Structure 1
Amino acid sequence: MSGELEPDPARMRVSDAQRHEVAEILREAAGDGRIDLGELDERLEATFAARTYAELAPITSDLAPATRSTQPVRPTERGIAIMSGFERSGTWTVPEHLTVLCVMGGANLDLRQASYAADEVVITVNAIMGGASIVVGPHTRVVLEGTGIMGGYSGPSGLVAAELDETSPTVRVRGVAIWGGVSVERKHG
C-alpha cells in the first residue's frame, strides 16, 4: 500500500442533482404535513447552501420517505428551471405526476393539445423567486392547492368558460411559491 488515506465520503462535494433530490424529499414532507412551511423554507435554504455530504445528510435524516407500498408505481416526470426555463407544449403526454422546480427561472406548460396518463394528474410546481404558467383547455377540471409565501397561486383565469362533464380530466396543481408565482389560465385549443 502506498500509505495514502481514502478520502472521507462525508467531505466529498455534492452535485446540484443531489441537492434537488433533497429538495424533492422536503417538498413531499411538507405536502404530507411532516414539516411546516417555515421549516421547509429553512431546510431548502440549507439544502442549496450545502457543499458536502456532511452538510446535506442531516437535512433529511429525520424524514424517511413516505411509504406507498399499497399503491402502484406511478409514472413521474421532473423538470428543473434554474435561472432558465422548462417548457412543454403541443402534443405530449402529461404524466400522472409532474414535478417542476423553478429557482429564478420559469416554466410554461401548455396542456391544451396534451393527452393525460390518468384521469387525474398532479402537477407540483415549487417556485422560488421564479414562476410557472399553466394553460388548460375548456374541458379540463382544475384543482388549485398551492401555497404562496410572499408569492402566490392563481387561476384558472381567462375569457373562456369551463365546459366540464364526467369525462373531463382533472389537473391538480400544488406546491409552494416563495417570492414567485404560479398561474393557471383557461384558453381554447
Structure 2
Amino acid sequence: MSLEKSAEPEHPAPAPATGAPSPAPAAAHGPGAVRASDADRDRIADILREALAEGRLEPDEHAERLDALYRSKTLGELQPLIGDLPAGQRSQPPGPAAPGPGPGQGRDMSFGGHKHGGIRVAGAKNVVAVFSSANRAGTWRVGSKVSAVAVFGYVELDLTEALFEQQHVTINATSVFGGVEIRVPENVTLRSNGSGVMGGFEVREREATDLRAPVITVQGAAIMGSVEVKAIEGKRLRDLGNG
C-alpha cells in the first residue's frame, strides 16, 4: 500500500508582504551634488588666502588646495577644502549661487556706456596656471570679477583692448611661487587692496579724469611670488559714447 503525498507543502513559503517599503537607493542628489559656480569658488579662494596670510596654511598646502579648488565641479568638493579652518567651522556648506539676471536684464557697457551688440554681463572669469602659463588678451569681455591664480606658474591678463561690461571690476590675483602680470589702459581708475608675503604686490594707483571710466580694483596676495599691474602708456579706451 502506497502513501499519497499531500499536494500542500509542510512549510509553505510566506506570502509576499504588501506595501512594505523597498530599500532606499543611495542618494544621488542633494546640496553637495549641485554644480559649483565661479562665485562659490571665489568665496573658498578668499578663505584660503586669508588662512595663508594668517599662517594657518603653509604655501605648499595652499597651492595644493587651490589646485583642487579650481578642479572641483560640485559644492560637495568645496567644503572639505576649508573644513579645518575657522571660517569653514563658522560657515555653512556653500549653497547654490543666486541666479543671475535673466535675458535682457544685464547691464551692458564699455567705456562711455556704449553697448556692444547686446552683450550680457558675464560671470566671473578664472584664469589659472598651475605649473604652467595662461593668458587672456585681445578683445575679450571683462565682467565684474576676474580671478587670476598662478601656482608655480605665470598668468598674463591684458585689458588694454578689452570690452568692459561693468564700470567696476574686481580682479582677484593670487600668486604662489609664480607671477601674475596685469596690463590696463592708461585712462582707467586703478586701485589696490593686496599684500605680499615674502613676495611683491605692485600696483601704482591712479584716478581717471573721466568719471565714466572703468574702475579696476586689484586685490589678493603674492606669496613668494609677484603680482604686478601696469598702466600701458598710449593704450587708451575710446569714449565710444561720443564717437
* SS of the residue 2:54 aligns to: helix
Offset at residue 121 of structure 1 (A)? 0.7
Q: How many residues align?
A: 164
Task: Give the TM-score of the pair, scaled to structure 2.
Answer: 0.55
Query: Does the Cα contact within 8 Å between 1:47 and 1:56 map onto a contact in 2?
Result: no
Give the one of 92, 96, 118 matched to 1:64. 92
Equivalent of residue 122 in structure 1, options 156, 170, 175: 170
Give the secondary-structure state (helix, strand or coil) at the position aligned to 1:59: coil
Farther-moved stretch of structure 1 (65-74 vs 109-118): 65-74
One-letter code of the match for 1:96?
S
Q: Distance in 2 between matches of 1:140 and 1:176?
A: 22
Partner Cα separation in structure 2 for residue 135 and residue 47 of structure 1: 25
Once residues 127 and 98 of structure 2 are traced to their aligned partners in structure 1, the CA distance between those partners, rounded to angstroms, is 27
Which amino acid letter does the alignment assign opposite residue 164 of structure 1?
A: T
Q: 1:101 Cα shift?
A: 1.4
Alignment of 1:158-173 (within 5 A): 163-173=208-218
After TM superposition, list the pairs within 5 Å mapping 1:79-158 onto structure 2. Answer: 79-156=127-204
Q: Which residue of 2 aligns with 1:48?
A: 64
Give the superposition deviation at 1:144. 1.0
Say if 2:197 and 2:221, in contact at 8 Å, map to a contact too.
yes
Structure 1 or 2: larger strand share?
Answer: 1
Residue 145 of structure 1 aligns to a residue in which SS?
Answer: strand
- Say whether the 8 Å CA contact 1:26–1:44 is kept in structure 2: no
Radius of gyration: which is bigger? 2
> What residue number does 1:178 align with?
223
Q: Name the CA distance, whole Å, in 1 between partners of 2:191 and 2:179.
A: 18
Relative to structure 1, the CA distance from residue 40 to residue 173 in structure 2 (aligned partners, 3 Å threshold; closer, same or farther) is farther
Q: 1:68 to 1:117 in 2, by over 3 A?
A: farther
3-state SS in 1 of match to 2:169:
strand
How large is the Cα RMSD of the aligned pairs?
3.9
> 1:37 is matched with which residue?
53
How far apart in 2 are the matches of 1:185 and 1:101? 17
Cα gap change, 1:96 to 1:23, in 2 (>3 Å): closer
Is the 8 Å Cα contact of residues 181 and 229 (structure 2) preserved in structure 1? yes
Distance 1:170 1:104, change over 3 A: same
Q: Cα offset for 1:134? A: 0.7
Sort the Cα spacing of 1:119 and 1:40 in 2 relative to 1 into closer, same or farther, 3 A: farther
Distance 1:66 1:172, change over 3 A: farther
Change (3 A) 1:174 1:65: farther
Distance 1:79 1:126 in 2: 11
AA matched with 1:122:
T
Flag structure 2 segments of 5+ consecutive residues without an equivalent: 1-35, 69-76, 102-121, 236-243
- What are structure 1's unaligned runs of at least 5 residues? 1-17
